Amino acid sequence: MKAIYLVKTGDAGAAFELRDAPDPSPAEGEVAIAVEAFGLNYADVSARHGLYQDAPPMPSVLGYEVVGRIDGVGAGVSGLSEGERVCALTRFGGYATRAVTDARAVAVIPDDMDAGVAAALPTQGCTAYYMAIDSLNLHEGDHVLIHAAAGGVGTLLVQMCKEIGCVVYGTAGSADKLDLLRELGVDYAINYRTNDFVADIERLRGAQGLDVIFDSIGGAYVRRGMNLLAAGGKMVCFGAASHESGRFQVFRSLAFLASWGLPHPVPLLMKSRSLVGVNMLRISDERPEVLGRCMRGVAEMALAGRLKPIVGGRFDAARIGEAHELLESRRSTGKIVVSW
């Protein structure tokens, strides 16, 4: 098979090499997939910069999700057959023409489903579903803030929260992205580059506060956002996009850690607030039944037309560096998909 290996950290144009690799075989409970396309996630960018601690040592094959056809079924797998078109979550290894994964992380999709739409479901779709539907008890009329709402997870969160009947506030960094958020139904679109989101929310909500904040930025965004929560409010952290690479990386990382502040249980208890962390890699490793439930749920929503992932960039595999550059630039919306 062919695989794209991460061979050095830093610049996207020099970080990857296309190599031949041995075909993996499915073990018990696994399936092998002939891959037609795979998706990018911001964790891939973090791994390329050496900032993602769960990434395998180089040279390594990144990638959390694939779209393709099953071409091998391990012992003990039921309900899946060779030849079926699927999307699947992978624990790395997705940047390849063949991938192996736990059968519980696989969802059958129609032959005519767009590969970019399908690629949005396993990682970003499951993350949004787990947060908005599986683990939180959102209610109609809840006031919800979604940071980076024009991104892959953000656009799906917006749709899920609006289906529940929430009042949604979304942040983005350009006029085009704000227009997209309004098209998706965001009630209050906030440009984080020109406006202080805290001041805007306080002006709109006064002392009433927010019920939930979905934060993929981390650092000071979390620290400042905690003060916007109403009694019973929840801060859900699922990323750290503000942790950037550069010179004097150790000092950058220390400053990033300090920017979170020092959350303590006593203020949370006194104000009845919650701070929740979400890492779908840990969920897939330790609670695969939860991952399977989320995969089925998000696939059902997409097939029913209740969830419409946005594809913001399409690249062939030879342009993997350009795909990474677009994602890292923060100019993209929705899902970036790479095809073989």
> 216: closest CA among 261, 171, 251?
171
CATH classification for the domain delimited by 136-279, as one of 3.40.30.10, 3.40.50.720, 3.40.50.300, 3.20.20.80: 3.40.50.720
**Can you give the pLDDT at residue 303?**
93
- Which residues are registered as beta bridge partners of 175? none
Which pLDDT tens digit goes with each residue over 115-168? 999 999 999 999 999 999 998 889 999 999 999 999 989 999 999 999 999 999
**Can you give the pLDDT at residue 224?**
87
The domains of the chain are located at: 2-120+310-339, 136-279
**Can you give the pLDDT at residue 251?**
43
Q: Identify residue 335 by its one-letter amino acid code.
A: K
Decide if 234 contacts 211 (C-beta within 8 A).
Answer: yes
Structure tokens belonging to residue 167:
């009042």
Q: Top-level CATH class of 2-120+310-339?
A: alpha beta
**Can you give the pLDDT at residue 240?**
56
**Can you give the pLDDT at residue 317?**
97
CA torsion sign for 13, 14, 18, 23 is negative
Q: Which residues of the chain have pLDDT under 70?
A: 240-263
27 φ/ψ sector (left φ>0, alpha ψ -120 to 50, else beta):
beta
At what angle are helices 152-164 and 175-184 packed, to 10 degrees? Answer: 30
